[in-house]
A and B are shown apart, each in its own frame.
Chain A
Amino acid sequence: QSVLTQPPSASGTPGQRVIISCSGSTSNIGSNYVYWYQQLPGSAPKLLISMNNQRPSGVPDRFSGSRSGTSASLAISGLQSEDEADYSCAAWDDSLDDVLFGGGTRLTVL
C-alpha cells in the first residue's frame, strides 16, 4: 500500500502535454524533496527529476517537475512514443523514517 498516491494510468497522443500527479502529506512531500523515476519496459528505473524540479544531466527539457504543499506533479510536454513508461514519485517520510514511493503511473502514448 503506497502512501504517495498516483493515478495508475495516463495517456496522450504524440505532441500533447501530460501531467502525472503525486499526492502525499506534510510528513513527506510537504517537508522533503520529491524525486521522479522513469522505468522503460524491461529496464531498471532511472532518475528523471531531482529535488522537486531539477533535471539531471541528459534528461530532455520536455520533462518538468513541481511541488505545491503536499502534492507534486510531473509534466511531459511534446509527448513522444519513447516516453511510454512507468513513472513513480518518491520522498522521504519524517514520521515513518522511510522512503515512500507512489504506486506508479503507466503512461501510454496513443
Chain B
Amino acid sequence: EVQLLESGGNLVQPGGSLRLSCVASGFTFSNYVMGWVRQAPGRGLEWVSSLGGGPSSPYYARSVKGRFTISRDDSDNTLHLQMNSLRADDTARYYCVKVGGTRNARFDPWGQGTLVTVSS
C-alpha cells in the first residue's frame, strides 16, 4: 500500500523558515515525480511544487518561486520542502503527493497533510 507521511508543520513568524518532510513507502520512490499541494483554511487547493527523481528540474508555483525549495533523497524515500521568507498567506495544510509526471496534474495518492501557520 502506498503511504505518504508528512511532518514539520508548525507555527512560525512572518519572515521565518520551516522545512517540511514526507516519507514515502509502498512504491519505488525514485521512479516517480513527487510534489506538494497546499490548502489554506476554508480555501481551495493550490499546487506548490513538483520534482522528479534523479537529476531533474523542479517546478514551482509563481506564488512560492524564489522562496521555497523542493528536494528529495531517493536513498531514504524522503521529499522535502524548504520554506523561507514565509508570509501569512502561506498558512495552509501542506499535502505530499505522488505526481503522474512532469507538467502533470495527476496527484495520487495524498498524505494526510501537515499544518503550517504563519503568524506573529
| Interface set of A (CB-CB < 8 Å, partner B) | 2, 32-35, 37, 39, 44-47, 50-51, 56, 88, 90-92, 94, 96-104
Say yes or no: is B77 at the interface (Cβ < 8 Å to chain A). Answer: no
Residue of B45, B61, B107, B109 touching A98 (CB-CB under 8 A): B61
With A99-B47, A101-B45 given, is the CB distance from A45 to B110 under 8 Å? yes
With A37-B45, A98-B61, A101-B47 given, is the CB distance from A44 to B106 under 8 Å? no
With A44-B95, A44-B113 given, is the CB distance from A88 to B44 under 8 Å? yes
Expressed in whole angstroms, the Cα–Cα distance for A103 and B43 within the complex equals 8
Inside 8 A of A96's CB, which chain B residues have their CB?
Answer: 62
| Interface set of B (CB-CB < 8 Å, partner A) | 37, 44-47, 50, 59, 61-62, 95, 100, 103-113
Q: Does the CB pair B110–A35 fall under 8 Å?
A: no
Main secondary structure on A side of the interface with B: strand
Q: Does the CB pair B110–A32 fall under 8 Å?
A: no
Given A44-B111, A50-B108, A99-B105, output 10 extra A-B contacts at Cβ < 8 Å. A32-B103, A35-B107, A45-B37, A45-B95, A45-B107, A51-B106, A90-B107, A96-B62, A97-B103, A104-B45
CB-based closest 3 A-B pairs: A99-B47, A47-B108, A90-B105
Q: A32: nearest residue on chain B (CB-CB)?
A: B105
Q: Does the CB pair A92–B105 fall under 8 Å?
A: yes
Q: Does the CB pair A44–B107 fall under 8 Å?
A: no
Expressed in whole angstroms, the Cα–Cα distance for A71 and B50 within the complex equals 25
Expressed in whole angstroms, the Cα–Cα distance for A92 and B59 within the complex equals 12
Inside 8 A of B61's CB, which chain A residues have their CB?
Answer: 98-99
Q: A50: nearest residue on chain B (CB-CB)?
A: B106
Closest approach, in angstroms, between the C-beta of B66 and any C-beta of chain A? 14
Expressed in whole angstroms, the Cα–Cα distance for A89 and B84 within the complex equals 29
